Every structure is written in structure tokens, then in C-alpha cells.
Structure 1
């Protein structure tokens, strides 16, 4: 009997449109001989299944079922493609755990940890993972410009602590621009992280559980036409994404091993993508994405293709691991 798969997409954050694209890519590529997929839109005020004729059917939140034409659909698994809240910060994972439905991404604790850049960096540092120099602010804290610049230097990056797709990020070159960048970041989150500038080659490493094994995918080099790998660079073609990356074999192996080490130490599951910058020829960790983009423009599908893994196999393996 075919497994009924709910593809969760949308979300409550600025990334919901990107998530819809990812979810539709999963829907398009799932093996119909094994799975019966349903597009489930998780929106701020309503959760519903979108039928092939675009009719919406509301999800029963008490048990995550849906009634379609007098038939109640009970899902065997949820394929989580939500970027941002509630699918990337652990809320959806915790809910599905309570109602007893397996899902394809990491567990709720790991999702909450990795979604919080500040806390993730703090957890990884004892394992010797190199990162930028960081300064943290909560909304309402006094902004001490001289202290911040003295610690992280200029230029620096001001980021929303719990946000993705480069929303709420500014590269600051002058001290007088720092407060405005902080205000901009606080529009996305009530916590921000200010990082020292790392000068070097930026790379992205997909690490997945594939057919029962932890696998590091081919490394992608990111060359942005803009100041950094911002929203335009990620989604509007303002960057080159070169797979495999133009780095040495030794650097490739090094960054893949670090990414796998992080994945294993955090007891991750599912599809992940971690970002690094080779600063002074050493890989410095930037962040981990536990529900990476899966649209045609996304990096992880490009890496899977270079590893000769089809999207059908990639998505099917994630479901089988969850089940």
C-alpha cells in the first residue's frame, strides 16, 4: 500500500514563498508508485491541503488528518519543507512528535538549536569548530558602538539571530552605519548577532542521511555579485554557485569532515546544508540549515545531482529514514 505523505510547506515567516517552491519540487518528484503525496500549506491562520484542482481542505490540528470528499486521510509521514517558523525552529517537529507522526527533518531540540545562530555557535565552540568573532544583542539592550567595533572590527555583519534566506542582514563598513543596521535586523527578530568579517572563499556543504549512511555531498562554492550572499544572490540569480567548489582536494575533504562532524555531534537527521568561509585558509563555520531549499534554484539539489543522486531518490530516502 502506498504511504500517504504530507508535504508541509509555507510557514509564518518572510520565507514562506521560498518554502512553497521547495514543497512543490518535492511534490513533483516523489515516486508515485510508492507514495501518495499531499501538499499541506501551513499558514499563520490556517492549515490546509491543496488538492489538484486547487480546492483547500482544512487540516484537523488535533491529529493532523484531513477530510477530502468524505474520506479522512491519515498521513504516514510529513516531508518538512518549511523554512523559518514553525518548521525550522522545532515547533512543527514537537507538534508532530506529540501526535505520533514521523517527519523528515531533525528532532525539535536540534531544530530549535540550529535555528538560533547564537546558541549553535556556543554549543559548537567546545568541539574546536572555528567561527567568526561574535557580539550578541537583545532588543532593548544599550547599543555601545565603540565596544562592538572594538570587538568585531570593521567591516562586520549584523544579522537577525533567528532568520533565514538572508532576511535582516547588513554588511556594515562604517561605525556610523551600525545603529541603522541593528534597527533593520530587529525588524526580523528580537535577538541579533554581529560578526567579524571573514575574508575568503565561501562554500556550502550538504550533509544528509542517505540509505542509512551519513553522506557529505559535493561542495558548492558561492560567488555573489553583491556584497555578500544575500536574498538577491540566493534567489534572483545574483550569484554563481559552482559545484564542485574551486578549492583543493585537501580543503574539500576538510570542510566535508567538519560538516559531517557537526551533523553527528548534534545527532542530526534528514537533509542539512552548512555554510563555511575559508578565512586564512581555514574553514570557519557560519550556520546550519536543517530544512534547506529544494527548489530548482537551490544548492542542495545541485549537489545531489553532482553525486548522481536523483531528486526522486533523495526525497524518497529522506522519507524512508523518517519511517
Structure 2
């Protein structure tokens, strides 16, 4: 039996969602092959939490835990941390140094994809279309005229490095811009301001499944709110339609772009990319490398549509990690 450390939590606003994802991985782990250990990675502590909610501290020197006098080390790590330090490369680099295989992409790819503006800059030369954007760093002079002349109205103000739509605002008038920027700075010291793309929003999961890069069935996002925000993602304020109501030709086109991005970046593990289709062209918004894994999340929805159970999905991720 292989010992699997399922890391969850993290240091960002997404930690509660991550705990849900990690518990789903624990619930659906193939117990004929793996023994799962829930590891909470939090700012104040790293602990193994057993089924009685008893906590045992993790030794960060070798990522081991001692339970009732027995030292436990892990064969593989399943990374279910959304945001820092699980999605931005820090945990990936740590496990690389320790020589412990883990289920997500490598540290460079994690750091790159977590930074929206760097990711889009790298992909643009490969013909992947994006929104028009304007960048700000904390402390920069805010030239409202220059911003609006570049991106127009309405526009979106986003923290450059965050997830689950924390800190994102849709700005409809000039008067709303400064408030939106201040809101985004609560999550990150870098901001990306993007032009509004009026089209069909879709989410595309790409995984390596049994050695083959595989694009999962596409999900169409229809939000009841102004955009696919936290309420739409997690509180039922949206329709998530899988497969998306787009033509076979457009399905093939979006799938090809998502797969190209995955391969260009030399990705491993899960990715979920968000696109808006405008005038027949998919425009990438971002790529998530630790997407939500609750039973209602998009990747599990797409896997079900493809005939892949959660147990198969998680087993595949662990086997690929150990084979790599």
C-alpha cells in the first residue's frame, strides 16, 4: 500500500475551498492501492489530521509525521492546495528538493500559470488570443485616463495572483475604477486590468490520462451575476453546462487551443483553462493548475461526462506522479 499525503488548506483566501477539495480526494481514494493522510498546510501549522480530528505536527525537514511513536514517510503527494503555497510553485519546489513525487505540475509551470500576466505574455507568441490589458503594481501612479483609453468600459480589475474570483471587480463607470483597484490590492500587490470580452464563457479541463494529453468535455458558464464570481462558482449563482452548447467545430477549436497551451508549457497533472469565445475566436483568461476537486467542481463534472470516475481520476494522477 502506497502512503499518500493529501495536502490541503494553504495561505490564501481559498484555503476553505481547498480543504473541501482535499477531503473529496481522501474520500474517493482507491483504498485497495493507497492509504491516504490528510495534511493541513496552514500558515500557523503543518499537521496530519486523523479521522478523529487529532492533529500530529509535520516535520518539515523531511515531510514526515510521527504517530504513536511510529515515523511515517510518504510515497507520493496529492496536491489539493488552491493558491499559495500549493499553486504558485513553492510546495512543488519543496517536494522536488526532498525527492517526493507530487501530482501537480512542476514548480516553474506553477509559478508561471499562477501569474496571469506572465502566463498570457508567454502564450501570445503561440497565437493564443487574450483580452487587451493594462498592468499596475502597488505604488504605481494610477492614470485613470490611460487605463480607460487602453481597455475601455466596461473592464475587469483583477489581482494578478489569486483564485476563486477573490478581489475581482467588473467596472462599468470611471467612478468605480479606483474602488475596484483598491479591492484588488487587498489580494495582491500586482493588478491586471482587462477589456471586457462579450461572448460565450467556457472552461476546459486538460489532463494527462494514462499517458495521453486529453481534453475533457467543455463546460459552458452562464452566470446569474455580472461575471463568474465567487457566488457564481460556489453558491449556485450560475449554470454550468457540460458539454457546452457550442458547435462541434468550435468545440474542436477551443480544445485545440487548450491542448496547445498545456503542451507548450510542458504541463503535468490537471489544468483548467478559462476562455471567452468572441466572434468565433477563443480568448484565454487564465489557467488553473490546482482546480477545484469537490464533487460539484468543474473538472469532476467534466470527468464524469467523459466516463472517468473520481477514483479513476485521482488514481491516474497519483500513478503518473510516481511514474514520472
TM-score by length of 2: 0.99
Corresponding residue SS for 1:24: helix
Question: What is the aligned partner in structure 2 of residue 33 from structure 1?
Answer: 32
Corresponding residue SS for 2:200: strand
> Is 1:247 aligned to residue 256 of structure 2?
no
| Inter-partner Cα distance in structure 2 for 1:253 and 1:68 | 51
| Inter-partner Cα distance in structure 2 for 1:127 and 1:175 | 34
Post-superposition offset of 1:280 = 1.6
Question: What is the aligned partner in structure 2 of residue 219 from structure 1?
Answer: 218
Question: What is the aligned partner in structure 1 of residue 111 from structure 2?
Answer: 112
Question: What is the aligned partner in structure 1 of residue 175 from structure 2?
Answer: 176
| Inter-partner Cα distance in structure 2 for 1:297 and 1:166 | 17
Post-superposition offset of 1:176 = 1.5
Within 5 Å, which residues of 2 pair with 1:37-56?
37-56=36-55
Within 5 Å, which residues of 2 pair with 1:1-323?
2-323=1-322
| Inter-partner Cα distance in structure 2 for 1:298 and 1:312 | 15
Corresponding residue SS for 1:41: strand
- 1:186-214: CA deviation from partner (whole Å, max 9, x where unpaired): 01000000000000000000000111111
Post-superposition offset of 1:216 = 0.2
| Inter-partner Cα distance in structure 2 for 1:9 and 1:66 | 16
Aligned residues between the structures: 322
What RMSD, in angstroms, separates the aligned Cα atoms of the two structures? 0.5
Post-superposition offset of 1:297 = 2.1
- 1:243-276: CA deviation from partner (whole Å, max 9, x where unpaired): 0000000000111110000000000000110000
Following TM superposition, the consecutive aligned residue runs of length 4 or more in structure 1 with deviations greater than 4 angstroms are none
Post-superposition offset of 1:226 = 0.3
| Inter-partner Cα distance in structure 2 for 1:275 and 1:142 | 30
- 1:205-243: CA deviation from partner (whole Å, max 9, x where unpaired): 000011111100000000000000000000000000000
| Inter-partner Cα distance in structure 1 for 2:120 and 2:308 | 31
| Inter-partner Cα distance in structure 2 for 1:177 and 1:41 | 38
Corresponding residue SS for 1:38: strand
Corresponding residue SS for 1:292: coil
TM-score by length of 1: 0.99
| Inter-partner Cα distance in structure 2 for 1:91 and 1:47 | 15
Corresponding residue SS for 2:129: coil
Corresponding residue SS for 2:11: coil
| Inter-partner Cα distance in structure 2 for 1:265 and 1:101 | 25
Gaps of 5+ in 2: none
Gaps of 5+ in 1: none
Post-superposition offset of 1:281 = 1.8
